[in-house]
C-alpha cells in the first residue's frame, strides 16, 4: 500500500521534533502536526522560560555577595514586565528556529490537531493524510485538583509566564519540582511566598538529604512552608482584597491566607490525549497514559509513542532520546533501545539540586547493608568574603561489594552543570577508586566529588 508519509508525528514538542528531523535525515518522508506552538512545553511553558526566570531571581543574592568583593552596589529595582517581555521574546525567537529547522529537514508541518480516523489515517483540520508509521508525541499538561473548592481561581505553570503583574503574595499548592522551583523564583524576585504541601517534606522521591537541604534553605530564605496539609479540605475564594485560601493541617488546625489574584496550583501533570481519536486504533491507554513496550511501540504495531504522553520518565532529554532511538532503529538501520537507568536530573531551586543514580533509600533496598555513604557539606569559597552562610551538599552512594558508585547527589551552586559530568562516570560504572584516582580541579566545589573520604 502507498502512503502519503513514511512517518507522521503527532505533536511538535521536543520529542516529536527530534524524531521527525532524525527520520528525515535518513531520507524518510515525514509530516508533523501541532495545534499549539512549536517546541512544546519545554520551550514555551517549561524548561526554557523557567530557567530564564531562575537567572533573574538570583541577582539579589549576587548583589549582596558583590559588596564583599569591594563593589559598591547601588539601589536595585526589579521590573516584572521587563523580565516577562524579554523571556517571551526569547521563546518567540526559539519558535522561529524550530520552524526553520523543520523546513531545512523538509518535514512538512501541519498547524492543527492530528486525530486518528483509523490506524494509518490522520485528520488534520479538513485534510486527511496516511502514514506507514505514526509517532504519538503529544506531551502532557498541568492539571488542577478538581476536588479543591474554588480551584478555578488558581493558575498553573502554563499561565505563570504570561501574568502581567508580579504577585506580591502568592500561595503555591504542591511540593513537587515545579512547585518548589516557582516558590524559589518568586521569593527571589521579592514576592511573599507560602507553599502548601500534603506531606512533611517537599520533592517526594528524591534523596532525603536533598529534600532536607532544599526545604531548610527555602525556609531560611523566607519561604513559608505549610506541611501536612489536608488538601482535600482546602478552598479558594475570590474576594475584593485578594484570593482567600483556607487550609487545614492534619491536626485539624484551620488557617486562612490572603494572596493576590494569582495562586499557583502545581499539583501534577497528565498526558495530553484529548482529540487524538485513539478509540479508532488498537492503542491502549493505561492509567491515563499511552501504553508502550521497551521499544516505544504501542499495541498497534506501527504506532509508537514517546515522551510525557507515556508518563514514563517525564523529562525533555528523555523524550528526545526515545524519539531518536526510534528513528535510528526504523529509518537508520541501527537497532537502538532507550536505557532508563542512571538518568540525571536537576531541580532549579535556590539552592539548586541535581542527582543521578539511586537515592540512599533505593540503594539500601537493593543492596541492603552493602553500601557506604560519602557526604560533604561546606561553604563554597565564593561566599567567604561576603560572609554569607550558604552551604553546598555533596553525596556519593557506593555499593561496597564492587566499590561501584551507584548514586551521586548535590545541592548547591551549579549543581546541574557538575552532576552532568559526574553522570557520565556513573553511567559508565565508575568505582569509588576511579573517583579517588581522578585529580581534582582546585579550587572548585566540584573537586569535592573526587576527594571525599
338, part of any domain: no
pLDDT digits 0-9 by tens, 46-85: 999 999 999 999 999 999 999 999 999 889 999 999 999 9
The total number of structural domains in the chain stands at 3
pLDDT greater than 80 at residue 21: yes
25, 104 Cβ separation under 8 angstroms: no
Q: What's the pLDDT tens digit per position in 235-290?
A: 999 998 899 999 998 778 899 999 987 788 888 999 999 999 999 999 999 999 99
pLDDT score of 166: 95
Indicate whether 108 and 19 sit together in one domain. yes
Task: Supply the CATH number for residue 163's domain.
Answer: 3.50.50.60
- The reply to whether 262 and 321 lie within a common domain is no
Q: Which domain holds residue 109?
A: 5-141+270-331
CA–CA separation, 434 and 405 (whole Å): 9
In a domain? residue 224:
yes
**In this model, does residue 231 exceed pLDDT 90?**
no
Residue 339 lies in a domain: no
pLDDT of residue 250: 74
Strands (E) located in 11-82: 30-33
- pTM score of the predicted model: 0.96
Show the beta-strand stretches assigned E in 197-288: 224-226, 235-239, 242-248, 254-259, 264-265, 269-271, 285-286
Q: Which residues are catalytic?
A: 442
Three-state SS at 410: strand
Distance, in Å, from the CA atom of 384 to the CA atom of 403, rounded to the nearest integer, reads: 35
Among 219, 249, 267, the domain-final residue is: 267
Residues 168 and 256 in one domain: yes
In this prediction, residue 251 carries a pLDDT of 77
Q: Supply 278's cell numbers.
A: 485513539
Distance CA 434, CA 449 (A): 11
Over residues 293-328, the pLDDT tens digits come to 999 999 999 999 999 999 999 999 999 999 999 999
Query: Do residue 259 and residue 303 come from a single domain?
Result: no
Q: Which residues make Cβ contacts (< 8 Å) with residue 117, sequence separation at least 6? A: 123, 128, 277, 280
- 83 and 174: one domain? no
Assess if residue 146 is contained within a domain.
no
Stretch 137-146: mean pLDDT: 94
323 shares a domain with 236: no
Choose one of 288, 303, 331: the last residue of a domain.
331
Same domain for 250 and 224: yes
> Helix, strand, coil: what percent of the chain each, to 5?
35, 25, 40
ω into 351 cis (within 30 of 0): yes
Is the same domain home to 303 and 370? Answer: no
Q: Tell me: pLDDT of 451 over 90.
A: yes
pLDDT at site 260 = 87
Amino acid at each position: 500500500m502507498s502512503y502519503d508519509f513514511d512517518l507522521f508525528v503527532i505533536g511538535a514538542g521536543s520529542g516529536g521534533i527530534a524524531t521527525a528531523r532524525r527520520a528525515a535525515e535518513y531520507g524518510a518522508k515525514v509530516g508533523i502536526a501541532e495545534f499549539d506552538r512549536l517546541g512544546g512545553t519545554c520551550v514555551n511553558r517549561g524548561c526554557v522560560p523557567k530557567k530564564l526566570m531562575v537567572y533573574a531571581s538570583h541577582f539579589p543574592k549576587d548583589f549582596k555577595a558583590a559588596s564583599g568583593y569591594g563593589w559598591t552596589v547601588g539601589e536595585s529595582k526589579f521590573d516584572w514586565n521587563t523580565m516577562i517581555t524579554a523571556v517571551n521574546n526569547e521563546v518567540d525567537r526559539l519558535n522561529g528556529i524550530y520552524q526553520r529547522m523543520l523546513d531545512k529537514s523538509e518535514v512538512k508541518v501541519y498547524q492543527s490537531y492530528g486525530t486518528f480516523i483509523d490506524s494509518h489515517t490522520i485528520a488534520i483540520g479538513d485534510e486527511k493524510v496516511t502514514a506507514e508509521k505514526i509517532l504519538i508525541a503529544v506531551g502532557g499538561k498541568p492539571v488542577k485538583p478538581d476536588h479543591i473548592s474554588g480551584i478555578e481561581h488558581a493558575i498553573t505553570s502554563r499561565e505563570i509566564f504570561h501574568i502581567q503583574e508580579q504577585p506580591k503574595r502568592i500561595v503555591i499548592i504542591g511540593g513537587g519540582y515545579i512547585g518548589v522551583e516557582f516558590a524559589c523564583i518568586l521569593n527571589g524576585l521579592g514576592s511573599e511566598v507560602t507553599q502548601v504541601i500534603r506531606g512533611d517534606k517537599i520533592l517526594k522521591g528524591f534523596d532525603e538529604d536533598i529534600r532536607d537541604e532544599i526545604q531548610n534553605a527555602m525556609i531560611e530564605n523566607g519561604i513559608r512552608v505549610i506541611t501536612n496539609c489536608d488538601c482535600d479540605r482546602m478552598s479558594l475564594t475570590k474576594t475584593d482584597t485578594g484570593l482567600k485560601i483556607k487550609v487545614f493541617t492534619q491536626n485539624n488546625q484551620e488557617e486562612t491566607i490572603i494572596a493576590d489574584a494569582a495562586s499557583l496550583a502545581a499539583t501534577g501533570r497528565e498526558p495530553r490525549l484529548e482529540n487524538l481519536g485513539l478509540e479508532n486504533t488498537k492503542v491502549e491507554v493505561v492509567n491515563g497514559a499511552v501504553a508502550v513496550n521497551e521499544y516505544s511501540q504501542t499495541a498497534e504495531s506501527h504506532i509508537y509513542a514517546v515522551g510525557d504522553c507515556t508518563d514514563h520518565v517525564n523529562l525533555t532529554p528523555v523524550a528526545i532520546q526515545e524519539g531518536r532511538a526510534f528513528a535510528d532503529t526504523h529509518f537508520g538501520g541501527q537497532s537502538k533501545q532507550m536505557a532508563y537507568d542512571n538518568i540525571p536530573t536537576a531541580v532549579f531551586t535556590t539552592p539548586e539540586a541535581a542527582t543521578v543514580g539511586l537515592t540512599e533509600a533505593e540503594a539500601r533496598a537493593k543492596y541492603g547493608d552493602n553500601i557506604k555513604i560519602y557526604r560533604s557539606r561546606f561553604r563554597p569559597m565564593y561566599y567567604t568574603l561576603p560572609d554569607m552562610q550558604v552551604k553546598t551538599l555533596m553525596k556519593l552512594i557506593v555499593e561496597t561489594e564492587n566499590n561501584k558508585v551507584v548514586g551521586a547527589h548535590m545541592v548547591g551552586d551549579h549543581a546541574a552543570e557538575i552532576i552532568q559530568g559526574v553522570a557520565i562516570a556513573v553511567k559508565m560504572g565508575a568505582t569509588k577508586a576511579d573517583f579517588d584516582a581522578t585529580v581534582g580541579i582546585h579550587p572548585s566545589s566540584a573537586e569535592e566529588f573526587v576527594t571525599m573520604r
